């Protein structure tokens, strides 16, 4: 059966987004649902995808049980790895065709319209991607907040919390940043109540604005943390070998860090042409290559 529709999903760790398009790529409906990161919670991811699918069909009056003429194209964390990808897709409903790729690759294709380019994502985490002329791609960082993601929101927040705890223990002198962190958690009482218990990437990223604000108002500790993050991000751009192709930025911190990053790399960045959902569509339509990551 010919493909008549495209069900495109941007499977995020905080929320998922879905777009239903006709055969020509025109949007028929858009929806949002809960988290759909199969690397964290496979069952929740499937539930969110089903939620998106039913919302999109309800919005268009189509039968949600009729999937044979629909291509399912999803971009999600870690979906370039074969075994976890197949285990996840086996739990998803069957469609006329299924195309899976990493979330970073979907964003890369959307940003450049499927043409060779580079993309640096700066949000809770950090990832660099590059699409080459032969259709292969590379990924840099995206190693997670424990061992990677330097320059990201979680890394900035982690450095702020580390500094505040060093001040609390008498190892480092007090600063405007340490005071801001302590105020943010409710002081010593907040620490005793578990303010720093069970920290994860998203909770750490909530401290990142304190670093940005502190750097902007002259706190030397905050400025030094931000500087280290920008130096790393500039080095990460260098690994993408993107001197002759467009460089795009996206992610929640891209806007606030763009000027500092441009000053470090000495080249402009461009506004993305499309989003990850557009990237999923282009790959599903055959207008952009399927993901073939080089594991250098």
Residue 130 falls inside a structural domain = no
**Domain ranges, residue 241:** 143-270
Do 176 and 96 lie in one domain? The reply is no
Do 252 and 277 lie in one domain? The reply is no
Residue 290 falls inside a structural domain = no
Do 9 and 89 lie in one domain? The reply is yes
Tell me, yes or no, if the pTM score tops 0.85: yes
Looking up tokens 């609390």 gives 168
Measured in whole angstroms, the distance separating CA 226 from the mean position of its chain's CA atoms is 20
Instruction: Give yes or no for residue 1 having a pLDDT over 70.
Output: no
Do 226 and 241 lie in one domain? The reply is yes
Question: pLDDT value at position 296?
Answer: 67
Give the number of residues written for the chain: 296
Residue 219 falls inside a structural domain = yes
- Of 206, 209, 202, nearest in space to 37 by CA: 202
Looking at the structure of the chain, the number of domains it has is: 2
pLDDT tens for residues 36-74? 887 778 888 899 999 999 999 998 888 888 899 999 999
pLDDT tens for residues 157-204? 999 999 999 999 999 999 999 999 999 999 989 888 888 888 888 899
Question: pLDDT value at position 295?
Answer: 78
Residue 55 falls inside a structural domain = yes
Residue 21 falls inside a structural domain = yes
Residue 105 falls inside a structural domain = yes
Do 175 and 229 lie in one domain? The reply is yes
Q: How far apart are CA 242 and CA 126, in angstroms?
A: 17
Do 49 and 89 lie in one domain? The reply is yes
Residue 100, domain CATH: 3.30.420.40
- Residue 288 or residue 123, greater confidence: 288
- Of 144, 117, 151, 147, nearest in space to 254 by CA: 151
Instruction: Give yes or no for residue 85 having a pLDDT over 90.
Output: no
Q: What percent of the chain has pLDDT over 90?
A: 72
pLDDT tens for residues 5-36? 999 999 987 789 999 999 999 999 999 999 88
- Per 3-state DSSP, the chain is made up of helix, strand and coil in percentages (nearest 5) of 40, 20, 40
The answer to whether residues 52 and 31 touch, using CB atoms and an 8 Å cutoff, is yes
Do 262 and 279 lie in one domain? The reply is no
Residue 137 falls inside a structural domain = no
Do 158 and 171 lie in one domain? The reply is yes
Do 211 and 227 lie in one domain? The reply is yes
């Amino acid at each position: 059966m010919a493909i008549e529709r495209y069900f495109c999903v941007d499977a995020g760790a905080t929320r998922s987004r879905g777009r239903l398009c006709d055969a020509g790529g025109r949007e028929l409906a858009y929806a949002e649902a809960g988290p759909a990161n199969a690397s964290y919670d496979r069952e929740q991811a499937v539930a969110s995808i089903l939620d998106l699918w039913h919302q999109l069909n309800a919005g268009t009056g189509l039968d949600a049980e009729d999937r044979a003429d629909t291509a399912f194209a999803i971009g999600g964390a870690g979906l370039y790895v074969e075994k976890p990808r197949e285990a996840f897709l086996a739990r998803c409903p069957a469609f006329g065709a299924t195309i899976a790729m990493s979330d970073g690759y979907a964003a890369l294709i959307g940003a450049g319209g499927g043409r060779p380019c580079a993309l640096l994502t700066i949000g809770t985490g950090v990832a660099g991607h590059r699409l080459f002329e032969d259709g292969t791609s590379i990924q840099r960082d995206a190693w997670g907040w424990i061992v990677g993601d330097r320059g990201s929101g979680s890394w900035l927040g982690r450095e702020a919390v580390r500094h505040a705890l060093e001040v609390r223990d008498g190892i480092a002198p007090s600063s405007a940043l340490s005071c801001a962190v302590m105020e943010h958690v409710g002081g010593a009482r907040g620490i005793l109540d578990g303010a720093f218990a069970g920290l994860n990437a998203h909770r750490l990223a909530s401290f990142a604005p304190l670093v940005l604000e502190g750097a902007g108002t002259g706190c030397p500790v905050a400025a030094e943390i931000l500087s280290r993050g920008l130096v790393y991000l500039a080095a990460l751009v260098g690994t993408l070998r993107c001197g002759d192709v467009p460089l795009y930025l996206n992610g929640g911190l891209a806007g606030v860090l763009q000027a500092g990053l441009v000053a470090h790399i000495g080249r402009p960045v461009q506004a993305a042409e499309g989003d990850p959902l557009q990237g999923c569509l282009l790959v599903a339509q055959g207008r952009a290559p399927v993901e073939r990551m080089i594991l250098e």
